[in-house]
Amino acid sequence: MYRVRVRSVPPVVLALRRFPNPRLTGIGAGLFASLTMFVLACVDRLLFDSSELVYGLLFLPVSALTALWVRPADLVTAPISVPIAFAVGVFPISGGSEGFGGQVMGLVTALAVHAGWLYGGTLIAGLIASVRKVRQMRARRRYVLAQGRGGAPAPASDRAPRSAASASAAAAAAAKPVRAGAGGAGAVARRPQRP
């Protein structure tokens, strides 16, 4: 007798499966990351007095969620939209002086000072997107191999008459003369217009 071993699923995996799993487009993922980072930066400014550490720590999970929630067709956009979201979100905590020039200088300085967090979040998004792409390519390869094993190709003797028949039909259609002004076999005859 054989005993069937049923592998139980860990409770952590069951809890993670209950979380939402949206599939965002590339633009949607960029908007999600930008809006989330802007709101988190405003909360950071109100509660933690524009703490760079808090903003950087909040940026890492937003980067991971952006890379996890983008749809497979737009995986390339995750590492691109995450730095843009960082720049959008750092604006409220940049602490620039009055005027447009002072705000821009504060933003550039904040981006330079927080470059470590920026690179870390971009690296996380890039790694997650790369792993998802590799898994997608492997699944596609397995699917193609399974399709190849399941359906055997037709023998060459069956395919030859069909291709010869379709070639002769195409040659007959090409040799048929076409009248001037005729739109083909399905054309509707037009009445002459009255002056």
pLDDT of res. 178: 54
Tens of pLDDT, residue by residue over 97-155, are 677 777 778 778 878 888 888 899 999 999 999 999 999 899 889 888 888 876 545 44
- Report how far residue 22's alpha carbon sits from residue 13's, in angstroms, rounded to the nearest whole number: 17
Instruction: Give the separation between CA 108 and CA 106, rounded to whole angstroms.
Output: 6
d(CA 29, CA 58): 17
Tens of pLDDT, residues 25-34 = 888 888 999 9
pLDDT tier for residue 157 given thresholds of 50, 70 and 90: very low
State the greatest distance between any 2 C-alpha atoms of the chain, in Å, as a whole number.
95
Distances, alpha carbon 73 to alpha carbons 23, 59, 70, 98, in Å: 10, 24, 8, 43
> The tokens of 57 are what?
């720590």
Contact call for residues 24 and 69 (beta carbons, < 8 A): yes
More confident residue, 157 or 50: 50
